[in-house]
Structure 1
Amino acid sequence: MAMITATFPGGAVVNANFSGFEVSTDQPEDNGGTNSAPEPYMLFLSSILTCAGFYAQRFCQQRQLSTEGMTMTLDIDRHPESRRLEKVKMAIQLPDGFPDKYQKAIVRAAGMCSVKKAIADPPEFEVITE
């Protein structure tokens, strides 16, 4: 994977640049931003859901099961005082006619997400100056 570079165009905007893409982030107005882009925390949560969604989608594609009407949702529980993330809850809303025999298997497939695995077995973080 290529290195990710952050740039700081002004205000509360921070952009991530990698592999020819630029992802903008901002903060809500009540946190000093202009709400011009998603806040980083929401991108973090979105990455969990879209990664799990990719595995659920691939599961269906490999079995020639329609994903029309299928959606996934993510909700979180946070500690009321520390705001620490305590639980991530994902739900797959299966399309009509989805075979019962695959319901547990698609949940297992969604659980294969590499973003989820990275959180479940967290890496060491290091911040330095250069």
Structure 2
Amino acid sequence: MPSVKSHHAGDMVFETEVGDYKILNDVPPTAEWGGKGRHPTPPDYFVASLSSCIAAFVQQYCAQSGVDSTDMYVEIHYEKATDPAHLKELMVDVHLPNADVGKRAEAIKRVSGHCTVHETICKMQGLPICIHDKTGEVAAS
């Protein structure tokens, strides 16, 4: 089963191993969190993964259906909310500036909604979290 592993690299920077790749993230540059704006934050990566996933699905559809995807991009607008911290009001704009999508607009919208990240968000019903202590066992809660 694939996995992703994140560890604290110091000074509130975190390094995440994704297969053979490593990415860095910082926490927000606030007094509360102590980030310094050196890298994207975890929520930034979350939105970026959704945006790039939708872009890949749209690109594949366009290539298969003959829609001009030159200069295509996906833009996601969102708000950050507090108490509890979360993202809200996510809105996706798929831009196909060189295409006349016409009747294919609904198909492109459907394809956008079928990207793996979007499907995962829609199907999640919680997230199991296990805490492993120095014994290697799951700590009692």
Compute the TM-score of the two structures, normalised by the length of structure 2.
0.80
Contact conserved, 1:2 with 1:18, CA < 8 A, in 2? no
Alpha-carbon distance between aligned partners in 1 of 2:95 and 2:54, rounded to the nearest angstrom: 13
Contact conserved, 2:26 with 2:40, CA < 8 A, in 1? yes
Structure 1 residues 2-11 or 109-118, which shifts more? 2-11
Unaligned runs of 5+ in 2: 137-141
How far 1:83 sits from its partner (Å)?
Answer: 4.8
How far 1:71 sits from its partner (Å)?
Answer: 1.9
The yes-or-no answer on 1:96 pairing with 2:110 is no
Question: Deviation digits for residues 29-63 of structure 1, max 9, x if unmatched?
Answer: 32312211101110011111111111111110112
Alpha-carbon distance between aligned partners in 2 of 1:26 and 1:82, rounded to the nearest angstrom: 19
The yes-or-no answer on 1:10 pairing with 2:13 is no
Give the equivalent residue in structure 2 for 1:45. 47
Alpha-carbon distance between aligned partners in 2 of 1:29 and 1:80, rounded to the nearest angstrom: 16
1:77–1:6 CA distance, 2 compared to 1 (3 A): closer
Alpha-carbon distance between aligned partners in 2 of 1:65 and 1:53, rounded to the nearest angstrom: 14
SS in 2 for 1:29: coil
Alpha-carbon distance between aligned partners in 2 of 1:110 and 1:35, rounded to the nearest angstrom: 31
Alpha-carbon distance between aligned partners in 2 of 1:24 and 1:17, rounded to the nearest angstrom: 9
Unaligned runs of 5+ in 1: none
1:72–1:35 CA distance, 2 compared to 1 (3 A): same
Higher relative contact order (CA 8 A, sep 6+): 1
| Matching residue's letter, 1:22 | K
How far 1:115 sits from its partner (Å)?
Answer: 0.9
Give the equivalent residue in structure 2 for 1:128. 131
4+ residue runs over 6 A deviation? none
Give the equivalent residue in structure 1 for 2:139. none
What value does the CA root-mean-square deviation take over the aligned residues?
2.0
Compute the TM-score of the two structures, normalised by the length of structure 1.
0.86
